[in-house]
Amino acid sequence: MSGGVDSAVAAARAVEAGHDVVGVHLALSRMPGTLRTGSRGCCTIEDSMDAQRAANVLGIPYYVWDFSERFKQDVVDDFISEYSAGRTPNPCMRCNERIKFAALLERALALGFDAVATGHYANIVTDAQGNRELHRAAAWAKDQSYVLGVLTAEQLAHAMFPLGATPSKAEVRAEAEARGLSVANKPDSHDICFIPDGDTRGWLGEKVGVARGPIVDREGSKLGEHDGAHAYTVGQRKGLNIGYPAPDGKPRYVLEVRPKSNEVVVGPKEALDVSELAGSRFTWAGLAPADPKTPFACEVQIRAHADPVPATAVVRGGELVVTPDAPLGGVAPGQTAVVYVGTRVLGQCTIDRTVSAVPVDARG
Amino acid sequence: MPVYLDHAATSPMPADVLAAYTEALRLVGNPASIHTQGQNAKRMLEEARERIAASVGADAVEITLTSGGTEAVNLAVKGLFWARNDVPSSGRASAGRAAPAEGGRVSRPRPRILSTRAEHHATIDALEWLERYEGAVVEWIPVDPLGRIDLDALERALADDVALVTTLWANNEVGTIQPVREIVELASRHGVPVHADAIAAYGYLPLHFHASGLAAMSVSAHKLGGPVGVGALAIARSASVVPLLHGGSQQRARSGTQDAAGAVAFGVAATRAAESLPERVERLRTLQRRMIDGIRSAVPQAELRGDSSPDGRLPGNVHITVPGCEGDSLLFLLDLAGFSVSTGSACTAGVPEASHVLLAMGLDEGEARGALRMTLGSDTTEDEVDAFVAALPDAVSRAAAAGLSDREPVLGR
């Protein structure tokens, strides 16, 4: 229970469904005070108290479990090293994968629980053979199946998402109100919980240090200078400060971040389009496809709030390779590509490499 | 009903204390009022103060009632520091007073405070506040592996520029009794006042304020069956303490309308505890021994922390660490099994941390995480102790399976 409205209502529904429910709040920082200002993260003192109050109202026991060390290693440090490597990680996904449905779940199972229920908007569907599948939530606007796409069959076997069938967030808030939960109107959390003021660049700058370096075009010509490659993400347009326009007058975008040479590569928007993306770290959210080495039609989603696009996927050479039907923009290494078939999450890969739809030598 | 083994956190209120409390609450009258009703309240209050004073071997005039233990400790530590540095708000320099140093910071004639890292947070946080805002220089005297202060180090650190020494009478987590007499003896050679936080010791050890030679001593009502929200600081006649709270000067070192009913209940609880002390200590020592022996045979890997000899430890305190277990897991499993225990460490906003007391005693963080504290009280029975000992092995094996919270999970790659 994070102290937000979603997990409070999820707990309420689990209680009502007859489960023996215990509220657990994750302590993810050793110094909660430092996360207190600014954005509403997942481990402020206020959040812990809100979670406890919700548990009290529901009449369930409440405990705080400390996973700060694991969170630091598996989420925060991973976030820093991924950015330092020029990649764009999703820490919420890492948290689901390594903390909520790994460290927490394992501890819960060892202590005698059967499942971890969270306030995520997603559905678990069990097929005729008893295999569990992960599906999009009924409320597409709130659907969080993307950030759960990293879960494996083993993790899904012990996961519960009581909010999955809810048509809207408004309904969850109304239910919280009706149940007398004081968090009914608490603002949604957003941003990254361990970056208090939402200033990811500034925070990363403190962690990895700031080193000026060149901004170059795809041919390697220097166009300007940057204040640290970590501050740039693929697809970014603002903040390049090159000072003069491209020859064709069109805006430039970050195409690539090269941490080793501390270079930021920029170019035209079309150069962002990829015709293929692939990753060697892939998992299946439930049963693997019968023959993943034969290309199959799917949809691919590359960010939590991106639209899914039609694609073909295949496992080839130890990679999950996804070919969008039409060139796809805004794809950065380190992002997770979640593969869907209909509403079902089939699996995912962390993107290691992409193939540009417009190779350098093919340009006019 | 769950078995309550957390008397050090708070203790149940006996029926006669509750009766005295509720009866006193019915009466109207501010002890500071001149009329008869006010005088009645004042009489009740002062009778209670005498009872409280008698229970700690002090005179009534030496007892300042507070809102609890934390306020008493803050008043003692900050009040003694200010009094020993006698700083007028203007910061004007005069003999024996604080002089403004270069850069506008006040220079203190006696900036140093000696204490240990095994104190309760009320002390540690107050001292850190004094360092940050009041120019104090705190020196943390080491404690030995049992949690006892290093007297040689204390002796070396003592000098005329020390404002005060503050120590626990007995540690609230591991139950180790401090050599208060020796501490006072060393400090008195330099004329340094000593404050003892006797909150955990009160009701479990004979306390004699006058005989101790302490300048100040904190106690709290609810640890011995009185109400929460009432405490006291004994301040020796010879000692001077600058108040924290200013207003109507109702007491020597505190302003604020006095809680006559709270004092009455405190007084009844204090008298009751003092009168029954020898029998209760004997009874608690027997139960404590029974629990320690039981744990040793049921969970041989558990280690008793603090002093294993009865004279060095609070009666009723049993503190163990269990290797490979998270104290939180043990607490949780025992709670589900119907036993109320504690990990012993302060729990700021519910965020568990390894006990600073155990770390001060030299344990590493992994060892310290497996801490479990059971504190027995007047109402604890042999059957409860036996039931706890019987329930412990299952909790330990499950908690060990869950492992320490920094263990790398198998799931999720």
Would residue A43 show up in a list of annotated catalytic residues for this protein?
no
Q: Which domain holds residue A293?
A: 272-362
**Chain A closest-CA separation from residue B349 CA (Å):** 6
Same domain, A109 and A251: no
Query: Could you tell me if residue B4 is inside a domain?
Result: no
A150 within some domain: no
Q: Same domain for A354 and A220?
A: no
Computed over every residue of chain A, the mean pLDDT equals 89
Out of A223, A244, A271, pick the residue that ends a domain.
A271
Any domain includes A17: yes
Sheet containing B63-66, strands listed edge to edge, beginning at the edge strand earlier in sequence: B63-66, B231-235, B216-220, B194-197, B162-168, B112-115, B137-140
The CATH number that applies at residue B152 is 3.40.640.10
Strand duo A222-226 + A132-136: pairing = unpaired
A69 inside domain: yes
Contacts of B353 in chain A (CB under 8 A): 30, 66
* Containing structural domain, residue B268: 15-275
Q: Are residues B66 and B168 in the same domain?
A: yes
Give the CATH number of the domain where residue A356 resides.
2.40.30.10
Residues A214 and A314 in one domain: no
On whether ipTM exceeds 0.95, the answer is no
Stretch A343-361: mean pLDDT, rounded? Answer: 88
Classify B330 in phi/psi space as left (phi over 0), alpha (psi -120 to 50) or beta: alpha
A334 and A355 fall within a common domain: yes
B332, B411, B413 member nearest A111 (Cβ) = B332
- Residues B154, B292, single domain; the answer is no
Last residue of a domain, one of B227, B249, B275: B275
The answer on A78 and A172 residing in a single domain is: yes
Both B221 and B294 in a single domain? Answer: no
Active site residue B325: no
Choose, out of A107, A280, A284, the residue to mutate when testing the contact with B (most B CBs < 10 Å). A107
Predicted confidence (pLDDT) at residue A35 exceeds the cutoff of 80: no
Q: What is the CATH number of the domain that holds A97?
A: 3.40.50.620
Question: 3-state SS string over chain A?
Answer: CCCCHHHHHHHHHHHHCCCCCCEEEEECCCCHHHHCCCCCCCCCHHHHHHHHHHHHHHCCCEEEEECHHHHHHHHHHHHHHHHHCCCCCCHHHHHHHHHHHHHHHHHHHHCCCCCEECCCCEEEEECCCCCEEEEECCCCCCCCHHHHCCCCHHHHCCEECCCCCCCCHHHHHHHHHHCCCHHHHCCCCCCCCCCCCCCHHHHHHHHHCCCCEEEECCCCCEEEEECCHHHCCCCCCCCCCCCCCCCCCCCCEEEEEECCCCEEEEECHHHHCEEEEEECEEEECCCCCCCCCCCEEEEEECCCCCCCEEEEEEEECCEEEEEECCCECCCCCCCEEEEEECCEEEEEEECCEEEECCCHHHCC
Q: Which of B336, B352, B398 sits opposite A66 (nearest CB)?
A: B352
CA distance B413 to chain A (A): 8
At B387, list the tokens: 């039931």
Q: Indicate the residue of A32, A64, A97 with minimum beta-carbon distance to B412.
A: A97
- Of B226, B243, B275, the residue that ends a domain is B275
Tell whether B2 is covered by a domain.
no
Residue environment code for B237-266, b if the CB has 16+ CB neighbours within 10 A, otherwise e? eebbbbbbeeeeebbebbebebbbbbbbbb
The predicted model scores a pTM of 0.86
Residue A126 in any domain: the answer is no
Question: Do A250 and A290 lie in a common domain?
Answer: no
Given pLDDT bands bounded at 50, 70 and 90, which one contains residue A207? confident
Range A301-308 average pLDDT:
92
Apex CA B238: angle with CA B233 and CA B241, to 5°? 45
Residue B407: inside a domain, yes or no?
no
Same domain membership, residue A277 and residue A258:
no
B1 in any annotated domain: no
A224 shares its domain with A333? no
CA distance linking residue A77 with residue B371, whole number of Å: 28
Instruction: For chain B, 413 residues long, give each residue's pLDDT as a single digit of tens.
Output: 899 999 999 999 999 999 999 999 999 999 999 999 999 999 999 999 999 999 999 999 999 999 999 999 999 999 999 999 985 555 444 444 455 545 545 678 999 999 999 999 999 999 999 999 999 999 999 999 999 999 999 999 999 999 999 999 999 999 999 999 999 999 999 999 999 999 999 999 999 999 999 999 999 999 999 999 999 999 999 999 999 999 999 999 999 999 999 999 999 999 999 999 999 999 999 999 999 999 999 999 999 999 999 899 999 999 999 999 999 899 999 999 999 999 986 555 456 678 999 999 999 999 999 999 999 999 999 999 999 999 999 999 999 999 888 888 888 76
Q: Do residues A169 and A266 both lie within one domain? A: no
The predicted pLDDT at position B32 comes to: 94
Cα end-to-end distance, chain B, whole Å: 43
Same domain (yes/no): B141, B268: yes
B375 and B396 part of one domain: yes
The stretch A196-200 carries a mean pLDDT of: 80
Q: Which residue's structure tokens are 């987590």?
A: B173
The CATH number covering residue A231 comes to: 2.30.30
Which of A250, A271, A292 finishes a domain?
A271
Q: Per-residue pLDDT averaged across A155-178, rounded?
A: 95
A170 and A279 assigned to the same domain: no
| B45 and B184 fall within a common domain | yes
Total domain count, chain B: 2
Q: Among B244, B275, B306, give the residue marking a domain's end.
A: B275
Same structural domain, A306 and A290: yes
How many domains would you assign to chain A?
3
Question: Are B385 and B332 in a shared domain?
Answer: yes
Please tell me whether residues B132 and B184 are part of one structural domain.
yes
For residue B251, CA distances in Å to B53, B241, B268 come to 15, 12, 21
Which chain B residues have a beta carbon less than 8 Å from that of A25?
A: 350
Same domain, A114 and A14: yes
Please check whether residues B163 and B298 belong to one and the same domain. no
| CATH number of the domain where residue B311 is located | 3.90.1150.10
Give the end of a domain, one of A239, A271, A303. A271
Query: pLDDT tens for residues A69-97?
Result: 899 999 999 999 998 888 889 999 999 99
B68 lies in the same domain as B195: yes
Residue A155: inside a domain = no
Is A146 a domain residue? no
Whether residue A31 is contained in a domain is answered as: yes
In a domain, A303, yes or no: yes
Residues B140 and B107 in one domain: yes
Task: Flag whether B167 is in a domain.
Answer: yes
